[in-house]
């Protein structure tokens, strides 16, 4: 995956083109970029690789894993062979072993998530009066708690799932492309309701009741729903929550728009039975799809716990730590426990390093051992020495990705860091790092979906297939190349996005 475009290179002098071509080749051979999105915080990302992943999954090494923050934009860089292939194949093999009891397999991640939520909530409730030492102790313990989620969910869903998909595609090799796409589209959606589907259904029930009885009749329902799911749209750093005011506004808007109540996003049992019969799918293929469906559910579990945990950690705990330190909450989000200890020795150094971190920060992890690099000069020097280049060509008129659901649509691009937007119009094109469950109301209105990252089993892909929305995922640098208000053609048949007219705020 490359963050610049060949069309841009040819504008340069021949010798410069040659240099850039060599640079591209080095980057492509060694490194792979699976994630690129706006995540201006180091927690809980800091925990994902802070343990000996290689030992648990039976590989000699994971290679270097880079977490890179640049003014809030977050990029992950994997070692192409060691992390992306060797580790992925080993995780997929472990998934096949665990698949003998898929319910137990999934429940381990659920328990880890629930335990971590309780732990974070308890500290959040007393964090306003906590000492610096108590904050340090919390982060140490939180790391270990969250590692259990990484071990029992995150690495399976993010790194292992693409290799399960690859195994399925291999089993479907005898079918023509159209048939294989039809099979995958029908069989990959889980029959069991995900957590997001359950929330969607509950909200839909309140909307239906409000449509027949009026908004005043459902005030108690709204309060109960808000008390239960207030953290749901928080994602990594908020700021949105589903308080009573926000939920009431959503329902009132649905009444004004005459929108249908939300429907559960899950697979169609009848369609799957017909697909099995039509294509005479083998038992092996069916077992692989059961595993894939479970991984989709586990991915949704992960998003649930991530939002709830981040609400308490990034929303409350870091806000209280920021007050104690006399800094902003946004600054506090770049602090880890080791960094926090420097405050005791040198407050001037603390503030300088914090400013450097907010500008550019790299965490390099290898087999459970990590190091930090702070400030743009130091970070760019490290990346350049390893042939890692993150530039993109913002002048290109065409970008490509992987088709999640076919279709061709033209509309205005909306570049979204979060789902919290008030002027999203019917037919607008969602362009974002990745979608999360709180994007569903926008997806219902959208003409199409474009994401920087993700594969055929990501949230955007699953929801797009359910709602029959053209969708292209893994579009490298989409949120940087496209501008808010651009008129774009989303050709999901070919996995291509074309810029027809540059827009901006004036275009709306």
Which residue has tokens 């048939």?
A: 179
Q: C-alpha distances in angstroms, 183 versus 276, 277, 357, 394, 470?
A: 8, 11, 47, 37, 17
Q: What is the pTM of this model?
A: 0.87
Domain annotation covers residue 209:
yes
Query: Residue 502 belongs to what domain range?
Result: 398-507
Domain annotation covers residue 176:
no
What is the distance between the alpha carbons of residues 371 and 363, in angstroms, rounded to a whole number?
Answer: 6
Which residue has tokens 């426990």?
A: 337
Domain annotation covers residue 12:
no
Scanning 60-101, the segments in alpha helix (DSSP H) are 88-98
Domain annotation covers residue 482:
yes
Domain annotation covers residue 218:
yes
Of 257, 273, 307, the position where a domain reaches its end is: 257
Of 213, 233, 257, the position where a domain reaches its end is: 257
CATH code for the domain in which residue 415 is found: 3.50.30.10
- The pLDDT tens digits of the residues spanning 197-236 come to 889 889 989 999 999 999 999 999 999 999 999 999 898 9
Domain annotation covers residue 446:
yes
Tokens of 341: 């200890």
What is the distance between the alpha carbons of residues 497 and 472, in angstroms, rounded to a whole number?
Answer: 8
Tokens of 196: 């997001």
Structurally, the chain folds into a number of domains equal to 2
What is the distance between the alpha carbons of residues 432 and 414, in angstroms, rounded to a whole number?
Answer: 8
Residues in the chain: 508
CA angle at residue 424 from 420 to 426, to 5 degrees?
Answer: 140
Could you tell me whether strands 448-451 and 398-400 are parallel, antiparallel, or unpaired per DSSP bridges?
A: unpaired
Domain annotation covers residue 429:
yes
Taking only the tens of pLDDT, the chain with its 508 residues reads: 333 232 333 334 444 444 555 666 778 889 998 888 889 999 999 999 999 999 999 999 999 999 999 999 999 999 999 999 999 999 999 999 999 999 999 999 999 999 999 999 999 999 999 999 999 999 999 999 999 999 999 999 999 999 999 999 999 999 998 899 889 888 988 888 888 888 988 998 999 999 999 999 999 999 999 999 999 989 899 888 999 999 999 899 888 876 554 444 456 788 899 999 999 999 999 999 999 999 989 988 998 999 999 999 999 999 999 999 999 999 999 999 989 988 877 888 999 999 999 999 999 999 999 999 999 999 999 999 999 988 776 678 888 888 888 899 999 999 998 887 888 999 999 999 888 777 888 898 999 999 988 777 788 887 888 788 999 998 878 988 999 999 999 999 889 999 999 885 433 3
What is the distance between the alpha carbons of residues 414 and 2, in angstroms, rounded to a whole number?
Answer: 23
Spatial contact of 484 and 414, defined as CB atoms under 8 Å apart: yes
Of 237, 257, 277, the position where a domain reaches its end is: 257
Domain annotation covers residue 64:
no
Query: To 10 degrees, the CA torsion angle through 477, 195, 165, 282?
Result: -150
């Amino acid at each position: 995956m490359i963050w610049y475009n060949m069309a841009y290179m040819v504008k340069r002098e021949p010798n410069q083109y040659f240099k850039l071509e060599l640079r591209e080749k080095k980057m492509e051979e060694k490194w792979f970029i699976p994630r690129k999105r706006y995540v201006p915080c180091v927690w809980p990302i800091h925990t994902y690789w802070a343990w000996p992943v290689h030992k648990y999954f039976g590989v000699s090494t994971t290679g270097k894993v880079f977490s890179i923050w640049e003014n809030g934009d977050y990029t992950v860089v994997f070692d192409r062979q060691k992390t992306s292939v060797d580790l992925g194949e080993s995780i997929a093999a472990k998934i096949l072993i665990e698949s003998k009891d898929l319910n137990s397999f999934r429940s381990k991640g659920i328990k880890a998530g629930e335990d971590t939520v309780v732990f974070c909530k308890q500290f959040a409730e007393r964090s306003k009066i906590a000492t610096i030492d108590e904050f340090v102790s919390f982060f140490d313990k939180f790391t270990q708690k969250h590692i259990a989620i990484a071990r029992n969910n995150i690495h399976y869903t993010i790194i292992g799932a693409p290799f399960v998909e690859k195994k399925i595609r291999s089993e479907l090799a005898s079918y023509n492309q159209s048939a294989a796409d039809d099979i995958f589209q029908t069989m990959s959606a889980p029959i069991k309701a995900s957590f997001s589907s359950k929330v969607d259904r509950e909200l839909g029930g309140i909307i239906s009741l409000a449509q027949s009885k009026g908004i005043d009749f459902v005030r108690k329902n709204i309060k109960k729903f808000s008390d239960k799911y207030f953290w749901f749209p928080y994602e990594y750093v908020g700021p949105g929550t589903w308080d009573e005011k926000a939920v009431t506004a959503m329902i009132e808007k649905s009444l004004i728009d005459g929108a249908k109540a939300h429907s559960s996003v899950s697979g169609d049992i009848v369609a799957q039975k017909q697909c099995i019969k039509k294509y005479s799918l083998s038992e092996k293929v069916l077992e692989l799809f059961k595993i894939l469906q479970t991984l989709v559910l586990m991915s949704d579990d992960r998003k649930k716990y991530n939002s709830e945990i981040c609400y308490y950690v990034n929303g409350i705990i870091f806000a209280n730590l920021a007050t104690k330190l006399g800094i902003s909450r946004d600054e506090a989000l770049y602090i880890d426990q080791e960094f926090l200890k420097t405050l005791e020795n040198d407050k001037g150094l603390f503030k300088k390093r914090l400013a450097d971190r907010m500008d550019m920060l790299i965490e390099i992890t290898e087999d459970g051992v990590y190091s930090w690099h702070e400030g743009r000069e130091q970070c760019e020097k490290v990346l350049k020495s390893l042939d890692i280049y993150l530039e993109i060509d913002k002048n290109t008129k065409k970008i490509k990705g992987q088709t999640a659901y076919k279709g061709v649509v033209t509309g205005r691009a909306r570049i979204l860091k979060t789902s919290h937007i008030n002027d999203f119009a019917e037919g607008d094109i969602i362009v974002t790092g990745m979608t999360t469950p709180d994007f569903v109301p926008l997806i219902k209105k959208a003409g199409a979906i474009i994401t920087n990252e993700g594969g055929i089993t990501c949230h955007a892909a699953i929801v797009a297939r359910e709602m029959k929305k053209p969708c292209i995922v893994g579009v490298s640098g989409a949120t940087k190349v496209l501008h808010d208000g651009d008129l774009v053609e989303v050709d999901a048949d070919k996995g291509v996005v074309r810029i027809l007219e540059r827009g901006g705020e004036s275009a709306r």
